Chain A
Amino acid sequence: RKEVEQDPGPFNVPEGATVAFNCTYSNSASQSFFWYRQDCRKEPKLLMSVYSSGNEDGRFTAQLNRASQYISLLIRDSKLSDSATYLCVADSSNTGKLIFGQGTTLQVKP
């Protein structure tokens, strides 16, 4: 079983749609969680950290459910520029190492 699992997609949605990605992690000792965005042939860029209380940054909302060990990302009012691969990331028991999921590909269509 992968330590961080995501549905690779692709998710094809029209502009303006709301789309949600889920991710599960297997290491119950993980403390820090993130969503990264990766454009084709580019490096990952931090989108947002994920907290138990949930956090929102503009059109993006991230949630963490420790009991079920899953993380979600909600994107509202999708833009064409949101098309990318979204990587779910968990730390490896506070070692400083990051464990990346395979990524979920989002394609926003006009």
Chain B
Amino acid sequence: GAVVSQHPSWVICKSGTSVKIECRSLDFQATTMFWYRQFPKQSLMLMATSNEGSKATYEQGVEKDKFLINHASLTLSTLTVTSAHPEDSSFYICSASGIAGVLDTQYFGPGTRLTVL
């Protein structure tokens, strides 16, 4: 099956620093990658949709200048949380889709747990 990796799996940082999270599709070309955030006991909330080579589309209420997304290749998308604050502490999960003929199946990465002190 399709494999999506994320790095790092967890990160602890000081308030005010920036954190970059990588999402890679290991065995397929992902035309679209999605970034989600999940707070404890809550559902996954879509933050943005990223298509290779174009600007990401952000969901309402998500600050594009704070959550920088780059999708420079068909196998890599990055999310940078700029000037992180404690309220940004969350579980960030990416997913990728784009396997021919199965456009609406998303394969999820293992997630990155961010803790901002």
Contact = CB atoms under 8 A, between A and B. Distances in A.
B32 A96 contact: yes
B77 to A, nearest CB: 15
A96 B110 CA distance: 20
Contact of A96 (B41, B91, B104, B111): B104
Interface in A68-110: 87, 91, 94, 96-103
B43 interface: yes
A66 B44 CA distance: 24
B104 A91 contact: yes
Interface residues of B, number: 22
Given A41-B113, A45-B108, A96 B43 contact: no
26 contacts: A41-B111, A41-B113, A42-B110, A42-B111, A43-B93, A43-B108, A43-B109, A44-B44, A44-B108, A45-B108, A46-B105, A91-B104, A94-B104, A96-B32, A96-B97, A97-B34, A97-B46, A98-B34, A98-B46, A98-B106, A99-B46, A100-B44, A101-B43, A102-B42, A102-B43, A103-B43
A32 interface: yes
A41 B40 CA distance: 9
Contacts of A43: 93, 108-111
Interface residues of A, number: 19
Ranked nearest first, the 7 interchain pairs of A and B with the lowest CB-CB distance are A43-B108, A100-B44, A102-B43, A100-B43, A43-B111, A32-B104, A43-B110
Nearest to A32: B104
Contacts of B110: 42-43
A43 B113 CA distance: 11
